Amino acid sequence: MTQKLSILGSTGSIGTQSLEIARKCGYEVSTLSAYSNVDLIEKQAREFKPKLVALADKDAALDLKGRLSDTDIKVLSGTEGLCECASFEGADTVINGIVGMAGLEPTLSAIDARKKIALANKETLVAGGKLVTESAKRKNVSILPVDSEHSAIFQCLQGKPSNKALKKIILTASGGPFFGKNKEQLKDIKPADAFNHPNWSMGQKITIDSATMMNKGLELIEAVWLFNVDPDMIDIVVHRESIVHSAVEYDDNAVIAQLGLPDMKIPIQYALTYPERIESPTEELDLTKIGNLSFYKPDTDTFKCIDICKKAIKKGGIAPAFANSANEQANLMFRNGQIGFLDIGDIVERVMQESPDIADYTLDDIHEADKLARELVKKYSEKR
């Protein structure tokens, strides 16, 4: 049966690669949505002919509505529009490629409507891990990881004997563009330097998160929720070549890893075809061309965001959501030239001292924590 896809964040790096797969596999695209990129989403809508299209930005949605008035495509706006796309009855699978915690509500809508979810939007799990996993369990919904490391772990866990046999997860990290540099060398880094990722071509926010290694901290939290493991069971290992996408170690010390060239089309496609595998447009891995694979311990003193996230998930409750929001704000302010590169970790760390103590949070609590965390980031950035 042809899959019918709802693609959230269709104009982004994950979204456009998802559309490449839809094109190649002949999947139907039922809905498309993004924030405000009217030109690209119009083009996508004309090619894939979805039933629904939504833009979070209301003015952009109005513009798009005018442009698509010669078609039967319905145009929606705002968070409600995104949620309508996520729960659209004509679709069976939702790919969430939205960036940031704006992806949380659409994920919850997709779960409510019992869609299969291919999740790239890691902030969904970092900010709302408890709400999302409880609701997915209640509705018997599968959340299939798209993030390459989590897809790798998921693949390594196929055929696992029992949860007890799993000793640890080895979460690999490229180390980003600043691997091996110390604080002194990083103090004058500009956004343009940080956008230069060695192995992956991604959206702006995650590229900066990779440079600060906040991305790996967020991924640690993502793994805790996806695989129901204790944070201490996750070892982060820097692997410069991004060929080993992650690994698991069992009680008998057997380590199983998943390898491949760094190309998101492999994990995106696997989330859609699981448990089957089909041909991929991605190049084959030739290990003899790669030659050497290297592994290092992360420098958590220079790249302090990893430990901030680890502390937050160990504290639990609203703390990971608070860390995520603080980072979203600090990441944005760095990209806008308002704070320095090292300020990101310093400010997020400072803001975490004021993280509210809410163990059993609701969606409203997450929104309130989000507001507070962003205000505090602005306050502490003024003092620099």
Instruction: Residue 280: name its binding partner from ligand NDP, Mg ion, none (Cβ under 5 to 8 Å by kind).
Output: none
Instruction: Residue 144: name its binding partner from Mg ion, ligand NDP, none (Cβ under 5 to 8 Å by kind).
Output: none
Query: Among residues 147 and 299, whose Cβ is nearest to Mg ion?
Result: 147
Contacts to ligand NDP by CB under 6 A: 9-15, 34-37, 56, 82, 97-100, 102, 120-123, 147, 200, 202-206, 264
**Nearest residue to 173 (alpha-carbon basis) of 246, 227, 109:** 246
Instruction: Residue 9: name its binding partner from ligand NDP, Mg ion, none (Cβ under 5 to 8 Å by kind).
Output: ligand NDP
Residue span binding Mg ion (CB under 5 A) among the ranges 148-156, 245-253, 288-296, 334-342: 148-156
In the chain, DSSP finds a helix count (H) and a strand count (E) of 17, 12
Residue 60 burial (C-beta neighbours within 10 Å; 0-12, 13-18, 19+): middle
Query: Among residues 312 and 380, whose Cβ is nearest to ligand NDP?
Result: 312
Residue span binding Mg ion (CB under 5 A) among the ranges 90-98, 104-112, 140-148, 159-167: 140-148
Report d(CA 12, CA 121) in Å as an integer.
12
Q: Which residues have CB under 8 Å from 43's CB, separation 6+?
A: none
* Tokens describing residue 154: 């998921």
Q: How far is the CB of 85 from ligand NDP (least distance, A)?
A: 10
Q: Is 222 in the site for Mg ion (CB under 5 A)?
A: no
Instruction: Residue 217: name its binding partner from Mg ion, ligand NDP, none (Cβ under 5 to 8 Å by kind).
Output: none
Q: How far is the CB of 194 from ligand NDP (least distance, A)?
A: 14
Q: Is 147 in the site for Mg ion (CB under 5 A)?
A: yes
Amino acid letter for position 304: K
Element (H, E) at 292: none
Instruction: For residue 13, give Cα distances in angstroms to 117, 137, 166, 375.
Output: 18, 29, 33, 29
> DSSP class of residue 198?
S
| Binding site residues, Mg ion, CB under 5 A | 147-149
